[in-house]
Amino acid sequence: MLLVFKKNAIVIFFLTVEICFNIHNINGQKSEPIKLNNYLIVAENLFNQYRYDSAVVYYDSALTQAEKMDNQNLVAYILQLKGTALRNDGRTDSANKMYKNARQKAVALGNDTICAKADIGLGQIYDKYGRLDSAEYFFNHALTLFQNSGDTVSIGEALYNLSMFYQSKIDYEISLKYALECNRIFKKFDKTELYCSSLLNLGNVYECLKEYDTALSCYEQGKLINVKLNNLKLAAKFANNKAVIFYYQKKFEEAKNELLSAIEFNEKINDLNELSILYRNISVILKKLEKRDEALKYADKALSYARQINNKELLSDALINLGVHHKQKGNYDQAESYYLDGIEVAEKHNLMWDMQIAYDNITLLYKAKGDFNKAYEYLQKYVAISDSITNEEKIKAREKYKAEYELLHLQDQNKIKDLKNKKILLERNRSYGIGSTLVFILIAFLFYFRMRARKNRIIAAQKIQKLEDEKKLMAAQSVLVGQEKERERIARELHDGIGVLLSTASIHFSSVEEKADKETAEMLKKANKLLKEAGKEVRQISHNMMPGVLSKFGLREAIEDLFDDVEETGDIEVDTQIVCGDKRLPENMEIMIYRVVQEMLNNTLKHAKATKISFNISRCDEIIQMDFVDNGVGFDEEKPAHGKNLGLSGLRSRVEYLGGTIKLKSEKAKGTRYSITIPLLEKI
């Protein structure tokens, strides 16, 4: 009944608006501002009810009225509002165009407020698509505009978005700083809805920092406020986030209660999409609590809602989840049927992550059934889709940096073209000037102008060469920075994605192993052992690609950790002296210096057959000095081995990127010495 009442209320509201429109139309042009205001009221109400597609329709009507009134400030304002509705409706490309159009008009009008709000919208879009440099620029530009205008609440909104941005960059300390500041602003100015959103974000940051008790406090406070305000959609989000933390803490009963609370809220507002997700999640919790019949009931509900809303991702996930539950209960035939249905949906709609999970699970199912041919068939599919996911991520990263390089190249070409055009124009003007002078003056100064023209040609050629050199340097630097970002991203996904999946799978295996018969338990024990070894390998690969100690504790601890690992093998004696001070270097510089040390050490371990390594690094006000010596077999500097050549090339590239110099001395049977000097561009 509640839902019907709400729908009827909306209809009555719309009819009232239409009546107002018809009454005011009698007054001719005087009705235009009133019609515009009414369109905006309807759009805002629809927006607040999450009916973004309908809100866009009324924003279009309001935009037409504003254009009739020739009020460009209103046009820019409505374009920005429409962009937000389009973004929330998932139409990102259209939203991007709206924000850019609004921003362009706002800049022309000198309206900093609308420009800043459009900047925030653009920043959110670029953040979503991984264009972090552009997103950071727009968020910071919006903050600057709001600070200049003295709009404190809007400053809080900009800080909120910056906190979300740095959270996505895994820079939780900076994210926490912004989250606390915006939370303080919204509370001080009694902006309840914004305060609740900031509480949700603050809880997320504390959760990422593993400060679970503080995160739970934020979520509980937000849940209570929104229940009081009857904002059940946001209250459900707080409850769901509490359930996630309880799951991490293995407090499954508390997690179940919070999910039931979230389900209750979403059932009242009939949010079928969220209900499908929540039913799926609570089925996992109930399975942990050994309530398998209840778990299966909720898994069936999740599937039912996914089918109602025809959400293919939720449908695929729900089918696979049901397969897992039936396999746990020993219903292998039903589990197989659900797995195959889930795979069919995932393959039809190219849901690569769902395909990967389904292939993995059905492989284990066929293995349990003793059908090793089918198990091998789906294992091959699992390996293939895993490779495809990895390759797709690499292609996206490569295309991103390729686009950035092409943009730099185009900018350089335009600069070169401008220089050539200026040179042609300069010579043409000079020719006109000379032609208007007397013949005697022409002869007297001919030599002078010829020399000057030659000098200009040399200068122009030098500028062109300089731009070409800068272009090559920027391309090389983009590749290096791109490699490090890719390493960091893959390391994070390995650790937080595959690592967590392997650990979760291992926990499931352990749970099943206790209840299986002796023969099955032995097989599960072996499989569990392989999973743990795979998890260990994933963590080691993640650490090698981007060691956590570097980002958390800095360069000195990371280098000490690197050499400690070598010394623990007992094969090589290591003598290190590290004097780097307590102050941190810029992040890019620390990563590059660490890679330089890692490259020198790898060359020694792979090729030198050394028994002793000596490494010294020190930093003064203006330079960093590194000396690395091993007593290995050495090599001919003129003709290094192919593998060494590649290693030395990467080493030199990183040192040159840092603006440093490297001296290498090596002789056969006399070891190798590296001496590297890196300047500090600014005192730290």
At 382 the three-state DSSP class reads helix
At 613 the three-state DSSP class reads strand
Which residues of the chain fall short of a pLDDT of 70?
1-31, 391-423, 429, 431, 433-437, 440, 444-445, 466-516, 518, 524, 528, 531-532, 535-549, 637-647, 681-684
How would you list the strands of the sheet with 661-666, edge to edge? Answer: 573-579, 612-619, 623-630, 672-679, 661-666
C-alpha distances in Å from residue 247, one per residue of 232, 243, 281, 328, 379: 22, 6, 10, 20, 30
List phi, psi (to 5°) of 621: -65, -30
List phi, psi (to 5°) of 535: -60, -40
Contact status, residue 101 vs residue 92, Cβ threshold 8 Å: no
Contact status, residue 142 vs residue 126, Cβ threshold 8 Å: no
Report the pLDDT value the prediction gives residue 8, as an integer from 0 to 100: 37
Report the pLDDT value the prediction gives residue 239, as an integer from 0 to 100: 93
Q: Which residues sit opposite 665 in a β-bridge?
A: 673
Contact status, residue 358 vs residue 341, Cβ threshold 8 Å: no
Q: What is the pLDDT of residues 484-538, one digit of tens each?
A: 566 656 655 555 556 556 666 666 666 666 666 767 777 767 776 776 677 666 6
Query: What whole-number distance in Å separates Cα of residue 193 and Cα of residue 225?
Result: 9
Report the pLDDT value the prediction gives residue 260, as an integer from 0 to 100: 93
- Determine the distance from the C-alpha atom of residue 257 to the mean position of all C-alpha atoms in its chain, rounded to a whole number: 32
Report the pLDDT value the prediction gives residue 505, as an integer from 0 to 100: 66
Query: What whole-number distance in Å separates Cα of residue 220 and Cα of residue 223?
Result: 5
DSSP characters over 579-598 = E--SSPPPHHHHHHHHHHHH
Query: What whole-number distance in Å separates Cα of residue 227 and Cα of residue 233?
Result: 9
Angle at alpha carbon of residue 556, lines to 551 and 559, rounded to 5°: 85
Report the pLDDT value the prediction gives residue 242, as an integer from 0 to 100: 93
Name residue, tokens 């059932």.
267
Name residue, tokens 């392997």.
502
Contact status, residue 272 vs residue 308, Cβ threshold 8 Å: yes
DSSP characters over 361-415 = HHHHHHHHHT-HHHHHHHHHHHHHHHHHHHHHHHHHHHHHHHHHHHHHHHHHHHH
Report the pLDDT value the prediction gives residue 652, as an integer from 0 to 100: 85
Query: What whole-number distance in Å separates Cα of residue 397 and Cα of residue 483?
Result: 9
